[in-house]
Amino acid sequence: MKALITLILTAFLATTSIAQEMNIETKSVALDNLITFIVENYSVKSEDTESDQQNISFLIQVPETNLSIEDNVILKQAFKLLSNRLTEGDLISIITYSGFNGVALKQVEPNDIKRILHTINNFKSSIKEFHQDGIELAYKYAKENFDEEAINSVVMVRNPNISSESENTSLLPVKPQKKKNNAVLITAISLLPELLAIIKN
């Protein structure tokens, strides 16, 4: 058990090392709590309000197939709320992981809600190039699109409704052993907050 926990912590720290170097904040939230998370972390801004710009890369856990109706509704309502709390100077992106990995939505302003909602409805068809590791991709993307004048963050949206069986799916041809290890790593990072809570208790 201790070895597994050590492996999880090491993998998580290695994945976020790039983020720490470039001051990219990492946040994690369960999909069910996403609306509350947005309320608590992003206050309402107006054009006249002087506040730091936001450059947010959302890393969303998706299944191999379509999201459930409930999950889809939560995501749509969360991004509608976010679009009312940010301004034109802010940027958001959407990257997917787990069922399939890729950049579903490159940087757009939050008021481009029609495009954002279209992406949520069509995650898979919105991705032009699939990758082996969505988590690694998110940090690479955040690094490439780093804005020195903004608060740069990666927000991992975990979906507890997705079974662990979908964790090991990749659209890229890889060796079975690598595929299995990738699944363990993604599952481990997804479960990190819960494991830490168990350790503390």
**Reported pTM:** 0.72
d(CA 48, CA 35): 25
In the chain, DSSP finds a helix count (H) and a strand count (E) of: 8, 6
Structural domains present in the chain: 2-200 (3.40.50)
d(CA 128, CA 126): 6
**Per residue of the chain (201 residues), what is the pLDDT tens digit?**
666 555 455 555 555 554 455 699 999 999 999 999 999 999 887 666 567 899 999 999 999 988 999 999 999 999 999 999 999 899 999 999 999 999 999 999 999 999 999 999 999 999 999 999 999 999 999 999 999 999 999 999 999 988 643 444 444 444 443 433 444 444 445 555 554 555 555
pLDDT of residue 1: 60
pLDDT of residue 14: 56
Residue 66 and residue 162 in contact, taking contact as beta carbons nearer than 8 Å: no
Collapsing DSSP to helix, strand or coil, 36 comes out as helix
Angle between helical axes of 134-144 and 176-200 (0-180°, round to 10): 80
Residues in contact with 47: Cβ distance below 8 Å, sequence separation at least 6, in sequence order: 87, 88
